[in-house]
Structure 1
Amino acid sequence: MNNPLLSQELLPPFKHIRIEHMEPAIDQILSDNRVQINALAAQPEPSWDTLVLPVHNLDDRLNNAWSVIAHLNGVMNNDELREVYKRCLDKLTEYSTELSQNEALCNAYKAVAARCDFAQLSEAQRQSVNHSLRDFHLGGVDLSPEDKQQYADLTRELAELSSKFSDNVLDATQHWFRHITEADELAGLPDSALEGARQAARQRDLDGYVITLDFPSFYPVMTYCDNRKLRHDVYEAYVTRASDLGPDGGRWDNTPVMAEILKRRHALARLLGFNNYAERSLATKMARTTDEVLGFLTRLGEESRPQAQQEMAELKQFAADTYGVDDLAAWDIGYYSEKLRQQRYDISPETLRPWFPADRVVTGMFAVAERLFGVQIEIRPDVETWQDDVTAYRVSREGETIAWFYLDLYARKGKRGGAWMADCRVRWRNLQGHLQLPVAFLTCNFTAPVNGQPALLTHDEVTTLFHEFGHGLHHMLTRVEVADVSGINGVAWDAVELPSQFLENWCWHPESLALIAAHHETGEPLPDDLLQKLLAAKNFQSGMQMVRQLEFSLFDFRLHAEFTPEAPTNPLDMHRQVREQIAVVEAPAFNRFPNAFSHIFAGGYAAGYYSYKWAEVLAADAFSLFEERGIFDGATGRSFLHNILEKGGSEEPMALFQAFRGREPSVTALLNQSGIGRHAA
């Protein structure tokens, strides 16, 4: 069978990939791998060249097929693909568990680590072997046969449950919509949102307007729509997604799914000798103990909450004095916050949209990367993609190709919400000595161009794009040639957000904004008065934003740290407890936020959502060096490239940070950058 997913070409032949190719490709690779793994594990004197490199070769072939399948499942989801994806996921989970519990293979790795020439291997090679030995332990290799079987069962069930959670959120999000025929009901919405609502209606063969729960539709309603009843209805539909309540209550309810996930995670952690899943999570992170994480989050909360309370009091006073609203509800917060922002700074996200056409932002972002890191990026329309509005790019340095990536910017039916970067191909030097170049998928969900007009982004969307591109640069600019510590591979999860949050800073400085912003009709730069208003409003309600993220982090971490099978923690109860401790916005009783918290129940952030704040400290402190020396200072940019981006997971993240910054990170930099409390600049 001529299966394009078995091709060893660098760039996948998307135009030739069919759903019927997927499962046979995975079956073939898994079958081949099993045979070869047994032979590799049985060799008498394993070495890097005879064991580790061949294993990486097998891993890479599997990754190159699965990365494409997983990506298409996220961006072109349909019932047929979903079923194939689930079946393949089951097989991969079983294979992964099998591999991690293969005692012969583990012993072969131990033999490599015990060789007298182990010290002569490169730091990346030694780190790779050490990570593998750690992962064998975390995969249950030391367990009894009965416990190994239980571990395998738990792992398989968790993969199925996480996929179910994600499917429920996607189905609940895409099922609900509100058809509106009278434009008056949408008074206050900006033209861009109205046009998006018209387009959503046309896609459903309806007249008038359609509001959906996709973020580009949901957010403008919550921020600008004068119709309080509509704001309430959209908010209720959004915060009850995949739950027992709301317009689709009970249809895609994730309540039992969450309970089963938590129960199995705890059992998995206990099998491995940890007290709870939070401890298990920290085994691969920078933070060392649960107390360290809780102390970190608590300190940020203590520093931020007084300012958040003050900001909330100001908002309530403003709504009462200016609009006569004395009963500010959760669905009013965004709306009146935007009114207050406009009154205080005379600026709104919509005011700025004309200066951020997507094409200009993208080329400006590339120019920032070129000035900082010495790379050139060019569009390649000859490269096959999975959708007409997806673009492929070549990354080079001094004329030499070093990476490729795909950019998929716009929301569409069947595409998972949010924004993310995923690897398509990993940089490494293979068995034959050939250097495989890295390839990345960069995905967002912005409003697509309509009626021949360019897509115009909000400034928040610009920072989202920079965030994902930061992840992409981490993946693509690595110089590591060992697969499992190349790019973002092997990087501690609470350090992996450093490059992404770091790059967001270039959305806030006049020198870089000059490259990013230009009026979509005239090409004129962002006027100085708008620039000054944007910068003045940067830390508007930063205290409220900080405690909101701390709420998510504390909820996630405490949920996993405090779970016991004897008295299972109810996620809704834990969410209420945490909100009482940290939140300043009162949530209605019908709020079911945990039911759609995909980051922790269907993503990689279980007992790790705190990583955003942890890495934000690293990013703020790293950027403070650019603030001292100039945001395009060449030597500082090269230092960040050499010490952070190029090193991937080949060294410990704290050592890399200290090599760049000259000291350990300080939380003060984040508080200062956010304008919070006594640290406000």
Structure 2
Amino acid sequence: MAVSLIGKKLLSNNLPRIYQQVRTGYIVLLPEVDPDQIDKNPLYKGGLPDTENLTQEKCMSTLGNAILELERTVREVENEVIANKEDFDMFEHVVEPLEEKGVQMESMWGLAKVFYLTDSSKMPPENYLTIHERARKARGAKFNSRIIYNAFKKCDTSKYTEEEQRLVAKYISEGRLNGLDLGSSQRESFLNSSVDLGSEKEQFRKRVKVSSKNFRHTIHDSTVTKDFPEELLKSMVRRPEDSATGPWDITLDANVANKFLEYCPERNLRWNLWLAGRQVASQHMGLGNEYSNSVSLEKIRSLRRNIAKTLGYESFAHMSMETKMAGSLENVKKTLNDLLRTFKPVQIEELASLEDFAVDKGFEGTLELWDIPFWARRQRTFLYHWDDAEMKDFFPLERVLSGLMKITSEAFNLRFELNEKHQAWHPDIQLYNIYESESKKPVAGLYLDPYCRNGKIYVPGGTLTGIRPACRSIGPSPPLAALILNFSPPKDGKPTLLDFDQVENLFKRFGQALQHLLSSVNYSDVSGMSNIEWDAVEVVSNFMAHWATQPNVLKEISGHYSSNEALPFDNLEKSRSHLIGHQMIKEIYLANLDLELHTSREFWLTITKRVWSEHFPFKLDPKDAHPLSFTDAVCDQLSAAYFSKIWAKMLAADAFNTFITESKEPSNDVGSRFRDTFLGFGGSVDPSEVFRRFQGRDPTPEAFIKHVSS
């Protein structure tokens, strides 16, 4: 399957390995300074959040002042450019002032966001969301300045470093996509369409939320729930003490719906929930046209077409490729279609085998989509003897974290130490200092908040929130981030236990933390995950997830919580790839549906019927309106970019295959090379080039196909 995962081949596939050693390169070293002396931020003390004196009022006023200061700096820079015309230094007079004030605001904004997510008493949602929008606009002001944009377009980049060239390219790309090349009337039309698009997306999102909350079905029969895992039962009752006796509510909350479909033995109940999930925000939900997204979806598509056309693009999907590693829509479509041809026959085989298995176990009828999760779980248990509920006992959180930090330390020459002297803003939260293996001074700090609790925002899968970026302007203070999770806390002497989905997700989030904290760049706009193309931004997190299934890693992260017995299982990778053909086709379908919605002018339902028939052997239910709740592609950050999920997995599989292969060689530097490239570069180097400097060649999908098919 010879396809290119990048848009342009800048170098030969046979090039020697070339590395830009960022950590020992052109970084400007600042003199040693007492952190207290450089803490211009009143929310910090000694380089860390001043948790003893933090209040909601102080956070709000400090962030508000920082926003005003950044906006004022943008105006001052504009005046500097106008007054001096050609006689100014682009970095000294434009980039540096914006960088300094921008990082100050980001450090306050990041802390405020962490408070909002973890402790509503410190940052009530209604207060945070208002100032969040102001901060977002302030951050984007420099990219909406025609004066600054034109200055960047005129500058000679030949004298700049690779990072500086990448930063200039970011300003130019952002400005062009913000319509700064347009004449006044076109610009006004562009801005009006952008405002209308933002409003329509918000309405789309609200209808999905309201419509989802409207569905509820109550079960009183305990024979239905007798085999449900404890956590599922707890999530279905209104009082924790009722988990064993009920009644139990079926809802469309992700932590209920997905597991319910896996464990519910009653086919009619599965169908009822499945269909409700496919009808969200449609007229079939019975809430009237007011809560249907059909018209809204068409408006959003039309507004995006207008915006793309105004900027000179054939479609919104073509416009989207400007910020993607893949380079062209044609390249993306070809790769997706090649993957479709590979996995479609696998899906057919898998589903036939699954139906045979179900019939052998007493199933009557034809296997449908709402049957697959239930019978897939049973078949997986039968084939591989893996039971999620039982295996949780072998993954206590403390053991998983300890093993994760150990293997990360060994691979990347790091050391993690709990900072016992620092008191965070909640007893659950701990700060880990990250050191170079032989250093006594931390290079970064990671807050870990593992447990769900009252006053904490529930984010499915958790989130990695940057507090302070890794860049030159933070001086000797370390970059900071918060890993915010929602695991059940220890109870009745029993530790927090994770299922393997949670283990894998923890590895992913930890990878994001490393990306944020270990960047070795000068400027925040290209630090961490900033300025990485959307189809490459999840490469590191997917790379880390591969580690979780490696036998040597499993030994480090597992062990029965009471007896320390080893994990009695050696078929984890096969278990995880069960029904991989069907799972891949679902992702490929959504990626192709997303692209079609953003290229074709056909009505959304016509598109859906056509694309569906190309991917699945099942008929599309007449009442299935799932695109009307497809928020990822319609109103979130993956519009005309849903394929990025697959792309990042392909890149990660290729990189991990190299990592594992070369790690077996004595004295190999593959860990340092990965850190210097994927972790060190951040967004300061084109991701295609980052991959080449790690691999010595362009990426291919073969390793990914081999991995998921094994």
Instruction: State the TM bucket, normalised to the shorter chain.
Output: 0.7 to 0.9
Contact 2:504/2:548 (8 A) holds in 1: yes
Any stretches of 5+ residues in structure 2 without a counterpart? 1-39
Contact 2:70/2:138 (8 A) holds in 1: no
C-alpha change, 1:385 and 1:232, in structure 2 (3 Å) is farther
- Three-state SS of the structure 1 residue aligned to 2:522 is coil
**In 1, distance between residues paired with 2:251 and 2:494?**
22
The CA deviation at 1:298 is 0.6
**In 2, distance between residues paired with 1:195 and 1:550?**
34
Which residue is 1:678 aligned to? none
Which residue is 2:673 aligned to? 639
Give the counterpart of 2:75 among 38, 50, 53: 38
Contact 1:173/1:241 (8 A) holds in 2: yes
- Deviations 1:334-371, CA, capped at 9 Å, x for gaps: 00011111222222222311111222212221112111
Any stretches of 5+ residues in structure 1 without a counterpart? 676-680
**In 2, distance between residues paired with 1:484 and 1:94?**
15
The CA deviation at 1:200 is 5.2
Which residue is 2:195 aligned to? 156
Give the counterpart of 2:578 among 511, 532, 540: 540
C-alpha change, 1:186 and 1:71, in structure 2 (3 Å) is same
Q: Report the more deviating stretch, 412-421 or 47-56.
A: 412-421
Q: Which amino acid aligns with 1:476?
A: L
Contact 1:308/1:541 (8 A) holds in 2: yes
What TM-score comes out, normalization by structure 1 length? 0.87
Which residue is 2:109 aligned to? 66
C-alpha change, 1:404 and 1:177, in structure 2 (3 Å) is farther
**In 1, distance between residues paired with 2:209 and 2:421?**
32
Give the counterpart of 1:454 among 481, 495, 501: 495
Which residue is 2:613 aligned to? 580
**In 2, distance between residues paired with 1:609 and 1:81?**
32
Which residue is 2:378 aligned to? 339
**In 2, distance between residues paired with 1:119 and 1:170?**
50
Mapped pair 1:103 → 2:146: yes
**In 1, distance between residues paired with 2:296 and 2:431?**
37
The CA deviation at 1:26 is 5.5
Q: Which amino acid aligns with 1:517?
A: S
User: How do 1:182-581 and structure 2 match up within 5 A?
Assistant: 182-197=221-236, 201-202=240-241, 208-246=247-285, 253-380=292-419, 383=422, 389-397=428-436, 398-410=439-451, 414-430=457-473, 434-527=475-568, 530=569, 532-562=570-600, 564=601, 569-570=603-604, 572-581=605-614
Greater relative contact order (CA < 8 Å, ≥ 6 in sequence): 2
**In 2, distance between residues paired with 1:19 and 1:260?**
39
Which residue is 1:626 aligned to? 659
Q: Report the more deviating stretch, 339-348 or 329-338.
A: 339-348
Give the counterpart of 1:49 among 92, 99, 107: 92
Q: Which amino acid aligns with 1:280?
A: M
The CA deviation at 1:559 is 1.2
Mapped pair 1:7 → 2:49: no
Give the total of aligned pairs. Answer: 658
**In 2, distance between residues paired with 1:579 and 1:141?**
39
- Deviations 1:51-71, CA, capped at 9 Å, x for gaps: 201111222233234334555
Which residue is 2:687 aligned to? 653
Contact 2:309/2:315 (8 A) holds in 1: yes
Contact 1:354/1:519 (8 A) holds in 2: yes
**In 1, distance between residues paired with 2:242 and 2:458?**
15
**In 1, distance between residues paired with 2:289 and 2:58?**
35
- Three-state SS of the structure 2 residue aligned to 1:136 is helix
Contact 1:180/1:210 (8 A) holds in 2: yes
- Three-state SS of the structure 1 residue aligned to 2:386 is coil
- Three-state SS of the structure 1 residue aligned to 2:181 is coil
Q: Which amino acid aligns with 1:34?
A: E
**In 1, distance between residues paired with 2:328 and 2:538?**
20
- Deviations 1:457-481, CA, capped at 9 Å, x for gaps: 2212211111121122111111112
The CA deviation at 1:511 is 0.4
C-alpha change, 1:484 and 1:90, in structure 2 (3 Å) is closer
- Deviations 1:527-550, CA, capped at 9 Å, x for gaps: 2xx1x2323323211111111111
C-alpha change, 1:313 and 1:73, in structure 2 (3 Å) is farther
Contact 1:360/1:517 (8 A) holds in 2: yes
**In 2, distance between residues paired with 1:459 and 1:128?**
39
Contact 2:540/2:652 (8 A) holds in 1: yes
**In 1, distance between residues paired with 2:379 and 2:613?**
25
What TM-score comes out, normalization by structure 2 length? 0.84
Q: Which amino acid aligns with 2:592?
A: L
**In 2, distance between residues paired with 1:593 and 1:411?**
30
**In 2, distance between residues paired with 1:168 and 1:71?**
27
Work out the percentage of aligned pairs sharing the same amino acid.
24
The CA deviation at 1:581 is 1.0
Q: Report the more deviating stretch, 610-619 or 186-195.
A: 186-195
The CA deviation at 1:107 is 3.1
The CA deviation at 1:25 is 5.2
Q: Which amino acid aligns with 2:445?
A: W
Q: Report the more deviating stretch, 542-551 or 319-328.
A: 319-328
Contact 1:242/1:251 (8 A) holds in 2: no
- Three-state SS of the structure 2 residue aligned to 1:407 is strand
Contact 1:316/1:326 (8 A) holds in 2: no
Q: Report the more deviating stretch, 158-167 or 654-663.
A: 158-167
**In 1, distance between residues paired with 2:287 and 2:495?**
35
C-alpha change, 1:82 and 1:620, in structure 2 (3 Å) is same
Which residue is 2:646 aligned to? 613
**In 2, distance between residues paired with 1:319 and 1:658?**
47
